[in-house]
Amino acid sequence: MRVLLLEDDLRLATALADTLRRAGFAVDHAADGEDGAAMGESEPYDAAVLDLGLPGRDGIAVLTGWRRAGRAMPVLILTARDAWADKVEGFRAGADDYLTKPFRLEEVVLRLRALVRRAAGHGGSVVRCGAIALDTQLGVFTLDGAPLILTAFEWRILAYLVHHAGRVVSRTELSEHVYEDHVERDHNSLEVMVGRLRRKVGRARIETVRGQGYRLSAGGDGDLP
């Protein structure tokens, strides 16, 4: 799952990015409103964390521009502005959630996981596909109730597939949501990682649809190596 972080306080941005990466997110950071606005309009993010007091272009203007451009990713506003009028302005511009400074870094993780889950159409905190379950509050995958031991990259891949279970996800779409902006996207490496995941969750559960991509299904019981 890939997140855009717009925050000009570099100390806070570093702490947030590190926390989000440890929680399984791929994170792209921008410290300027103009740069962040362009990134949000050109890249397919699962969510955005947006500070209001940005140089170049303020957060409300950035968010308004995204919504006018049809960008629908959920947006969590982070700001020191705690007046009711500021919150109303943020929600009217298209924000999905609002968190005032100071805050706990872990709360940002929980709120983002909830926003991503709801945007994918899942109401409960546990997202399931057959025997595979992701507890979005804890960030833990289980298979038939037993914890799955995954690398950070495997976690991102499986998280995206389980949020979009039952439909074909192209290799391009998957790579756009699991790689950070500065990392070269390699379909061969992605195929290797998917192969490793198959050995952990069962080969038949992650289907390769020839010429189209991958589909996570609820079937495949008993096919673990």
- CATH of residue 96: 3.40.50.2300
165 contacts 121 by C-beta, under 8 angstroms: no
Per-residue pLDDT of the chain (225 residues; tens, 9 = 90+): 999 999 999 999 999 999 999 999 999 999 999 999 999 999 999 999 999 989 999 999 999 999 999 999 999 999 887 788 888 999 999 999 999 988 999 999 999 999 999 999 998 999 999 999 999 999 999 999 999 999 999 999 999 999 999 999 999 999 999 999 877 777 788 999 999 999 999 989 999 999 899 999 986 554 444
Residue ranges in 82-186 assigned as alpha helix (H): 84-93, 105-119, 152-163, 171-178
Q: How far is CA 63 from CA 76, 120, 132, 166, 207, in A?
A: 10, 20, 35, 31, 37
Q: Look at residues 86, 24, 85 and name the one whose alpha carbon lies nearest to residue 53.
A: 86
- In this structure, the answer to whether residues 136 and 156 fall within a common structural domain is yes
Q: How many CB atoms lie within 10 A of CB 121?
A: 9
Which residue has tokens 């709801």? 118
Choose one of 65, 87, 119: the last residue of a domain.
Answer: 119
Residue 186 belongs to a domain: yes
204 is a domain residue: yes
Q: How many whole angstroms separate alpha carbon 189 and alpha carbon 66? A: 32
Of 119, 143, 162, the residue that ends a domain is 119
Q: What is the pLDDT of residue 220?
A: 56
Domain span including residue 143: 126-216
222 part of a folded domain: no
Last residue of a domain, one of 119, 136, 159: 119
Would you state the pLDDT for residue 225?
Answer: 41
CATH of the domain at 176: 1.10.10.10
